[in-house]
Amino acid sequence: MIKTPFSGALLAVLMLFWPGVSSARVDPQAAPPVAVTVTRDGDRWTADFTFAHEAPVWAFFDSALLRQSREPWRPAWWSVETPGVILDRQGRYDVLRTADGSPVPGHVRVVMRPQAGDLEAAYDPALMFSDGTVALFSGQFDVIRLESVEAARALPMDLNGVDVQGEPSQVTWRDLSGPLLFRGEWQDTVTAVDARTYVLFGEAQTRQGEGVTTVIDPGLPRWLGEKLADFTPEVMAFYASRLGPSRGGVPTLMVSWTGPTERLSSMGGSVLPGMISMSFEGEGVLDPDRAALDRAHWFIGHEAAHFWLGSNGLRYAFAREAWITEGGADLMAVRAIAAIDPTNDARTELQREVDDCVSLARGAPVAGAGERGQHRAYYACGAVWALAMESARQRADGGDFFDMLTDFQRESADDGILSRAEWLAAMTRVAADPAPAEAIARMLDEGVDDPAAVLAGIFAGTGVPHRLEEGVLTLL
């Protein structure tokens, strides 16, 4: 099981918006609609759900599939101890329900077996450290109240803009053997709603570095830990110099190490408010060869970019528009790494994006890639389109993609959302020609038979040096 470094790796920034819910705050006097107590007692992990309302079905808001198997993780890793309650998959969601359709009891106990697992475009449920430390993603306990199993089956994958009954659970975190790390502070117990973070159970060492606090697995290959601690502040400083300070203060970098699995070289990660989480696995990252180093740089560059374009900065409006943030973060990473390390080969990275976009966009709408499990298309095509936008900007006034982002930051200051319409309108403006944006819209919505030719047309319209020969599109 070899996971290619980029298809499975640079993933996963999901923006957890609560659809149809204006505020996540709860009245401290009122019982929360859903309260969950997460307890670690040695090797035993439990989640005790308390529901203030009756419902026959509770669906887990965050129900992404495991990337490699495309199977749901909860039915395999969680068991319900409460008699008569079933945990299974209905449509695109994991649900708690009863066999006979009667209301789920007011208290449900789940036993959890946290493990490493990479989800499709979503936060991994757990980061596993080699010393037994475990970090759990706070959002995995949020549920939606439903009237029936049929209603669960009818729920779309992307709930942005969908009106559902639900608000983030109130989660209490406890470790019977000691304090836990929550938002950079060690505490005995924590109760929080919609925390959007990883809560760390264990004795991991935290280290204050320049511009970043690190929690790094003691088992992680030393060179990689040092590189992460050094390069992350460097790349963050580069972005800040172009785009202004990131929100949320000094971020925490949490890095877990699953072990030197044979024939595997895997990097995964995501960004949350005030936190970058990463997980590494495989013998492929044991030694600091050039390829591993390049990948680590690339990975950090991409994840750090999300503090400005992604969950912490400008956001997309819908999951099918992840090409805006993932592709943009890829191009940001290319430019940042080239600025910091002049020996880096930016053209090769960009050519890879072109090649992947050409193969993933053929005959299928790119907007639907997420539903097909082809999230890579968002990164590759998004980066290629961002490259075209940058080229048009360069031709217009000598600017670059960061200048485009600066404009977007200003234009989207009120809601923080960079919509597809705004992105495409900016493309038309900067190219002084509607054709490139129209071609991108066609790739997104309808799919094209010959992506290489369509991309070549976009490049021609925006001034990206290229060659199209016998159907092969090459950046010059």
Contact segment (CB under 5 A) with Zn ion among 8-16, 199-207, 232-240, 460-468 equals 8-16
Decide whether 18 or 123 has the Cβ nearer to Zn ion.
123
Question: Closer to Zn ion at the Cβ: 13 or 143?
Answer: 13
Query: Of 13 and 369, which has the nearer Cβ to Zn ion?
Result: 13
Does 13 help bind Zn ion (rule: CB under 5 A)? yes
In whole angstroms, how close is the CB of 304 to Zn ion at the nearest point?
A: 10
Min separation Cβ 17 and Zn ion, Å: 17
Q: How far is the CB of 10 from Zn ion (least distance, A)?
A: 6
Return d(Cα 257, Cα 213) in angstroms, integer: 17
Q: Which stretch binds Zn ion (CB under 5 A): 130-138, 185-193, 318-326, 436-444?
A: 318-326
- Report the site for Zn ion in 172-191 (rule: CB under 5 A): none
- Among 255-263, 327-335, 380-388, 394-402, which window interacts with Zn ion (CB under 5 A)? 327-335
Could you tell me the smallest distance in angstroms from the CB atom of residue 13 to Zn ion?
4
Q: Which is nearer to Zn ion, 323 or 459 (CB)?
A: 323
Using the rule CB under 5 A, give the single segment among 52-60, 157-165, 319-327, 459-467 that binds Zn ion: 319-327
Nearest distance from residue 196's CB to Zn ion, in Å?
A: 16
C-beta closer to Zn ion: residue 51 or 402: 402
Closest contact distance (angstroms) between CB of 325 and Zn ion is: 7
Give min distance, CB of 310 to Zn ion, in A.
Answer: 6
CB of 302 to Zn ion, least distance (A): 6
383 vs 452 by CB, closer to Zn ion: 383
Give the distance between the most distant pair of CA atoms in the chain: 69
Query: Which H/E stretch holds residue 389?
Result: helix 376-397
Which residue's C-beta sits nearest to Zn ion?
A: 13
Stretch binding Zn ion (CB under 5 A), from 186-194, 224-232, 322-330, 460-468: 322-330
Task: Label each residue of the chain as H, E or C.
Answer: CCCCCCCCCCCCCCCCCCCCCCCCCCCCCCCCCEEEEEEEECCEEEEEEEECCCCCEEEECCCCEECCCCCECHHHHEEECCCCEEEEEECCEEEEEECCCCCCCCEEEEEECCCCCCECCCCCCEEECCCCCEEEEHHHHCEEEECCHHHHHHCCCCCCCCCCECCCCEEEEEECCCCEEECCEEECEEEEECCCCEEEECCCCEEEECCEEEEECCCCCHHHHHHHHHHHHHHHHHHHHHHCCCCCCCCEEEEEECCCCCCCCEEEEEEECCEEEEEEECHHHCCCCHHHHHHHHHHHHHHHHCCCECCCCEECCCHHHHHHHHHHHHHHHHHHHHHHCCCCCHHHHHHHHHHHHHHHCECCCHHHCCCCCCCHHHHHHHHHHHHHHHHHHHHHHCCCHHHHHHHHHHHCCCCCECCHHHHHHHHHHHHCCCHHHHHHHHHHHCCECCHHHHHHHHHHHHCCCEEEECCEEEEC
Q: How many residues bind Zn ion (CB under 5 A)?
A: 3
Stretch in the footprint of Zn ion (CB under 5 A) among 206-214, 237-245, 277-285, 328-336: 328-336
Provide, rounded to whole angstroms, the least separation between the CB of residue 158 and Zn ion: 17
Least separation in angstroms between CB 56 and Zn ion: 37
Nearer to Zn ion, 360 or 473 (CB): 360
Q: Which region, judged by CB under 5 A, interacts with Zn ion, from 151-159, 195-203, 329-337, 449-457?
A: 329-337
Residue 56 or 301: the one with the smaller Cβ distance to Zn ion is 301
**Strand pairing class (34-41; 44-51):** antiparallel
| Residue number with CB closer to Zn ion (167 or 330) | 330
Q: Which is nearer to Zn ion, 329 or 337 (CB)?
A: 329
Can you give the binding site for Zn ion, defined by CB under 5 A?
13, 326, 329
